[in-house]
């Protein structure tokens, strides 16, 4: 018997909390269950073919089942899946990352974006011998205690855990300031002499899409340098997606530490921390900053990442310009549609990412993002899904294009957005 999405969800809830293995996958009344994917499409348990603009929350820059990557992984599968010893391929991958990211002298491979940001923060503390970390409100750096925090009232505050089980004594060492507010950052640094590092998403992609205002990142780099504070660029989303050298290449900024994941391997589980050698050399066993993982540098994920980067480097002169062109055309057409319908909205877009907010004010930080009408976005999402277009179900995620999307896919999706905007208006 073929199980439908609803039956699969009822079954999943019996054995999995809330029926999902990550909270962002849930939406009312239940999420669909995917059975296969290829190129720009996924198929659900009810046999619906959907155009995928969630794209692994940004990981699938090259689309599902990209041939170069599948071939590389298939070849490695015949040789083994996990050794827990060094391999030459790990060194080859590290060299590819370093060649693409000028800020990186050395690389440590690991598994997830959260593991990478946790290690980056530990490195900053080990390097400076200080405790406090500054993060920006609305930036997401994983689900560990140091960064799973929110700000209180006012401008800059000690973080407060947003999760039961989170330790406030850990969160209190995280200072939360407003994104795109350089004065807020300056005041916070002046008041706190024990800042170990500043971590930021250079393009904020976990509060919808929010772009850095002019000079924000360059001023951020200048201030952290003047105060001898390591700057951590969290490029888990932007690394390889906005450019082959990430957002730091796009904006011409050189951070001290960089984290990357997602598009690094086009859908396989891997992440990395890279940075200046004087910082990276602090990692154990040569240094006293401990980090370890059984699956770090596993040959399957490494082979996928090597194939992914080589494919990106081969295509990059055409890849990024094509995606930027598609995104500009799509976002402009979407803007025109919403304007013609008289729907208050903002569209933020860059490179291969965009998001629409239902508000009449520019969205530049956490506060303005939260004022957008999330109920209207949910209506948009459900109408798009009904018309076989899948975007992330939350207002506070991003729509991602991939190399697998065609002009025909985009035209079909614009038709679906037209119907979705009508539903929002009504």
Active site residues per annotation: 140, 234, 262
CB atoms under 10 Å from CB of 235, counted, come to 31
């Amino acid at each position: 018997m073929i199980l439908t999405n609803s039956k699969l969800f009822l079954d999943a809830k019996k054995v999995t909390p809330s029926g999902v293995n990550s909270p962002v996958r849930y939406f009312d009344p239940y999420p669909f269950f995917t059975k296969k994917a290829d190129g720009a499409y996924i198929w659900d348990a009810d046999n619906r073919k959907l155009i995928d603009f969630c794209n692994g929350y940004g990981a699938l820059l090259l689309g599902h089942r990209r041939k170069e990557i599948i071939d590389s992984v298939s070849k490695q599968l015949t040789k083994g899946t996990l050794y827990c010893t060094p391999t030459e391929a790990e060194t080859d991958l590290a060299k590819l990352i370093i060649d693409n990211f000028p800020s990186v002298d050395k690389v440590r491979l690991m598994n997830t974006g959260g593991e990478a940001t946790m290690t980056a923060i530990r490195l900053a503390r080990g390097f400076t011998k200080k405790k406090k970390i500054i993060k920006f409100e609305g930036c997401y750096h994983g689900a560990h205690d140091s960064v799973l925090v929110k700000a209180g009232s006012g401008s800059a505050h000690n973080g407060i855990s947003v999760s039961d089980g989170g330790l406030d004594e850990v969160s209190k060492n995280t200072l939360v300031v407003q994104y795109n507010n350089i004065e807020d950052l300056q005041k916070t640094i002046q008041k706190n002499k024990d800042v170990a590092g500043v971590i930021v998403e250079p393009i904020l992609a976990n509060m919808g899409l929010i772009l850095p205002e002019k000079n924000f990142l360059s001023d951020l780099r200048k201030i952290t340098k003047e105060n001898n504070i390591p700057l951590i660029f969290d490029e888990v989303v932007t690394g390889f997606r906005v450019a082959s050298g990430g957002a730091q290449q796009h904006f011409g900024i050189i951070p001290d530490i960089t984290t990357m994941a997602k598009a690094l391997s086009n859908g396989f589980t891997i992440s990395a921390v890279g940075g200046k050698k004087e910082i990276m050399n602090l990692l154990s066993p040569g240094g006293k900053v401990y980090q370890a993982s059984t699956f770090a540098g596993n040959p399957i994920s490494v082979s996928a990442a090597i194939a992914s980067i080589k494919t990106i480097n081969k295509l990059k002169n055409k890849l990024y310009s094509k995606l930027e062109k598609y995104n500009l055309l799509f976002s402009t057409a979407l803007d025109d549609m919403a304007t013609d319908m008289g729907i208050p909205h903002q569209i933020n877009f860059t490179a291969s990412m965009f998001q629409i907010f239902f508000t009449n004010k520019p969205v530049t930080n956490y506060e303005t993002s939260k004022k957008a009408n999330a109920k209207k976005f949910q209506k948009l999402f459900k109408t798009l899904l009904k018309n076989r277009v899948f975007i992330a179900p939350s207002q506070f995620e991003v729509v991602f294009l991939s190399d697998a999307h065609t002009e025909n896919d985009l035209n079909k999706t614009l038709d679906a957005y037209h119907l979705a905007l009508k539903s929002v208006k009504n």
